[in-house]
Amino acid sequence: MSLKTLWILAEKELEDALRNRWFILYTLAFMALSLALSYLALAGAGMVGFAGFGRTAASLINLVLLIVPLMALTIGAQSIAGEEEQGTLTYLMAQPISRTELFWGKFLGLALGLLAALLLGFGVAGLVMATQSASAADPEVYIRLVVLAYLLSLTMLSVGMLVSAFTNRTGVAIGVGLFLWLIFVFFGDLGLMGTAIALRVPIDNLFYLSLINPLQVFKMAAILDINTSLDILGPAGVFALQEYGDQLFSLFMGVLALWIIVPATAAYWRLNTKANL
Amino acid sequence: MITFTQVTKRFGNFTALAAFDLTVAPQQAVALWGPNGAGKTTAIKCLLDLLRYQGTITVDGLDAHRRGKAVRRLLGYVPQELAFYPRLSTVETAKFYARLKDASDARILELLELVDLTDHRQKAVGALSGGMKQRLALALALLADPPILILDEPTSNLDAAARDHFLSLLRQVKDENKTIIFTSHRLEEVEQLADKVVVLKAGRREHECAPEELADLIGATRQIKLRFAPDAPDDVMTRALALLHAQGYAAHPNGTGLIVTVAAGAKAAPIGLLNGADMPVADFELE
């Protein structure tokens, strides 16, 4: 594998992502909502103005849960299927490049695109807070949320690329991507609570069930990072902390890493073994 | 040297290429001839490792599947369906592929000049005409100055003028002693470019022949329109028709002349026949 070729393909993918109108729209929406949330975070306390980093980070968790997966799934789903539908993939693969370079070049380019979008969204809100908020003393928790949000975006990029590798129609890929987004969102708090009540799932199983959903893992990791406890999640959160203690955050990171590696590897395998391009 | 050995490609139950053998010597231009669905494009896509196949293809001793990237470095490819990134300009497109092929900026400018696209270098590729896109594809194929050129129906989407221009470019490329494999179902393309023709039918290799033998082999015919001088006798058309029919030609009057169906490789024969019978043909054109 040539790193030079991989980087050329990644650059091309990054440029395409930054020109993609949906990507731009999601980024601007995320930036605007981040700013609005940081402004409104103090409203509950009867105050007006920009809140500090910690309070804003807590407010941003739910926003990240909705927009970041949607953005990553959409661009991931378009990545391979879109080129296949246009015919550009066939022409590109007729050049002196390997399928390995193509896939990982695309992944890297899109990952950098997502990083740019998140840095812009979080960065503008962060900059405003740093200059406008009276209580903006500790930006570390905010920066760690950016890192967690980025890991979440990579999990959804992997899933999106997996969908994309299994279809050659952009519309189908995006449709499946949106359906998966709905499932991931639904199987958050509401879905898990409903399942727990309906099936009388024991507390420990409920926690393990929540580990299946990367959105839920992100949320638990972010809450744990901000609060240093998961009491807010009820008995399942208490169980998790008692069972895993200091290792809990590492467990969450491990699950997120698996959600990045497994779908991306499966997507790569699919592209690499495709008989006809 | 390019060799296909017992190459078979199936799409489900459909066999697109069946135990196909081919040898192309260095600097040889080989035409793959056949109707749509004959397996020409499939053979080319197998060579490029875009399709997985049974059998073996080697290029200069390298296996086209196992060493696909190295093989593609030796090939320049002009596809039938031109699919470029529509938002990139002509020069941006060339730069992107030049980076993948380690070609210099100077080479880009040289090739855009060769294919007459210098004035269109800032234009979005999506806004180029079919002929311009075809010329751009040729320029991209030549970026790394590869020893082998692969052309899939290179003039199928072009009008007559653009076709002539493109064929003249291909003749220039051929004069640079490149090995060329191209697919076609146009006789004039084969006659102008090929050293050898391989005829495919339903995925099978049917014949191999010299380009000048192809017309007879496939029984190709053309129609020509013959005109007589204005001062020719009034009954010249009637006498000419009778003579042509007597010699086995299909012919019928059409306005001021005659339409005659002739073998593609013997278009001048009825003219000679009529001239010899004191019915001089003043003009003719291909229909």
A8, A94, A98 member nearest B99 (Cβ): A8
A19/B11 Cβ within 8 A: no
Rounded to an integer, the average pLDDT of B181-185 is: 90
Q: Which residue of A has its CA nearest to B85?
A: A88
Contact yes or no for A230/A240 (Cβ under 8 A) = yes
Whether residues B109 and B231 share a domain: the answer is no
B52, B75, B87 member nearest A275 (Cβ): B52
pLDDT surpassing 80 at residue A192: no
pLDDT surpassing 70 at residue A133: no
CATH of the domain at B263: 3.30.70.100
| pLDDT at residue A189, as a whole number | 67
| pLDDT at residue A239, as a whole number | 77
Whether residues B41 and B155 share a domain: the answer is yes
Nearest Cα residue to B102 out of B134, B146, B150? B146
Question: Last residue of a domain, which of B218, B250, B275?
Answer: B218
pLDDT surpassing 90 at residue B210: no
| pLDDT at residue A59, as a whole number | 75
| pLDDT at residue B94, as a whole number | 96
| pLDDT at residue B268, as a whole number | 87
Q: Domain total for chain A?
A: 1
B52, B82, B100 member nearest A97 (Cβ): B100
B48/A275 Cβ within 8 A: no
A16, A88, A98 member nearest B69 (Cβ): A98
Contact yes or no for A126/A228 (Cβ under 8 A) = no
Whether residues B130 and B102 share a domain: the answer is yes
Burial (Cβ within 10 Å: 0-12, 13-18, ≥19) of residue B43: buried
Q: Residue B11 CB: number of other CB atoms within 10 A?
A: 12
Whether residues B13 and B115 share a domain: the answer is yes
Cα B101 to Cα A8, A106, B122: the distances in Å are: 11, 18, 21
| pLDDT at residue A7, as a whole number | 96
Whether residues B205 and B227 share a domain: the answer is no
Whether residues B142 and B35 share a domain: the answer is yes
Q: Which residue of A has its CA nearest to B99?
A: A8
Q: What percent of chain B has pLDDT over 70?
A: 99
Contacts of A143 (CB under 8 A, 6+ apart): none
Q: How far is B197 from chain A (nearest CA, A)?
A: 24
Rounded to an integer, the average pLDDT of B93-119 is: 93
B87/A19 Cβ within 8 A: yes
Nearest Cα residue to B228 out of B287, B278, B286? B278
A12/B96 Cβ within 8 A: yes
| pLDDT at residue B159, as a whole number | 75
Q: Domain total for chain B?
A: 2
Question: Last residue of a domain, which of B183, B218, B253?
Answer: B218
More confident residue, A157 or A197: A157
Structure tokens at B146: 């590869």
Q: Quick check: A95 contacting B, CB < 8 Å?
A: yes
Contact yes or no for B86/B98 (Cβ under 8 A) = no
Name beta bridge partners: B199. Answer: B33, B207
Beta strands in chain A (DSSP E): none
ipTM of the complex: 0.83
Lowest mean pLDDT among A7-11, A202-206, A247-251, A269-273: A202-206
Burial (Cβ within 10 Å: 0-12, 13-18, ≥19) of residue B42: buried
| pLDDT at residue B223, as a whole number | 82
pLDDT band of residue B214 (cuts 50, 70, 90) is: confident
Cα dihedral value B157, B73, B103, B151, nearest 10: -10
| pLDDT at residue A49, as a whole number | 56
Q: Quick check: A88 contacting B, CB < 8 Å?
A: yes
Instruction: Show residues of chain B in contact with A93, CB under 8 Å.
Output: 48-50
Q: Quick check: A100 contacting B, CB < 8 Å?
A: no
Q: Quick check: B65 contacting A, CB < 8 Å?
A: no
Rg for chain A (alpha carbons), in Å? 20
Q: What percent of chain A has pLDDT over 90?
A: 45
pLDDT band of residue A254 (cuts 50, 70, 90) is: very high
Q: What percent of chain A has pLDDT over 70?
A: 84
| pLDDT at residue A35, as a whole number | 82
- Residue contacts between A and B (CB atoms, under 8 Å): 54
Question: Last residue of a domain, which of B200, B218, B236?
Answer: B218
Nearest Cα residue to A67 out of A172, A176, A215? A215
Measured between alpha carbons, how far is B153 from A265 in angstroms, rounded to an integer? Answer: 37
pLDDT tens column, B215-233: 777 777 778 889 988 888 8
Whether residues B36 and B59 share a domain: the answer is yes
Q: Quick check: B50 contacting A, CB < 8 Å?
A: yes
Q: Quick check: A21 contacting B, CB < 8 Å?
A: no
pLDDT band of residue A233 (cuts 50, 70, 90) is: low
Measured between alpha carbons, how far is A257 from A251 in angstroms, rounded to an integer? Answer: 10
Nearest Cα residue to A37 out of A121, A93, A106, A98? A121
| pLDDT at residue B145, as a whole number | 92
pLDDT tens column, B145-164: 999 999 998 887 777 777 88
Whether residues B52 and B146 share a domain: the answer is yes
pLDDT surpassing 80 at residue A174: yes
CATH of the domain at B20: 3.40.50.300
Whether residues B134 and B275 share a domain: the answer is no
Structure tokens at B249: 């030609």
B99/A277 Cβ within 8 A: no
Range of the domain at A111: 3-273
Q: Quick check: B66 contacting A, CB < 8 Å?
A: no
| pLDDT at residue A44, as a whole number | 52
Measured between alpha carbons, how far is A141 from B26 in angstroms, rounded to an integer? Answer: 66
A93/B48 Cβ within 8 A: yes
Measured between alpha carbons, how far is B135 from A98 in angstroms, rounded to an integer? Answer: 26
Whether residues B61 and B157 share a domain: the answer is yes
Whether residues B262 and B150 share a domain: the answer is no
Whether residues B185 and B268 share a domain: the answer is no
pLDDT surpassing 70 at residue A190: no
pLDDT tens column, A68-94: 999 999 999 999 999 999 999 999 999
pLDDT surpassing 60 at residue A48: no
Range of the domain at B258: 221-286
pLDDT surpassing 70 at residue A232: no
Nearest Cα residue to A210 out of A198, A195, A224, A200? A195
Q: What percent of chain B has pLDDT over 90?
A: 54
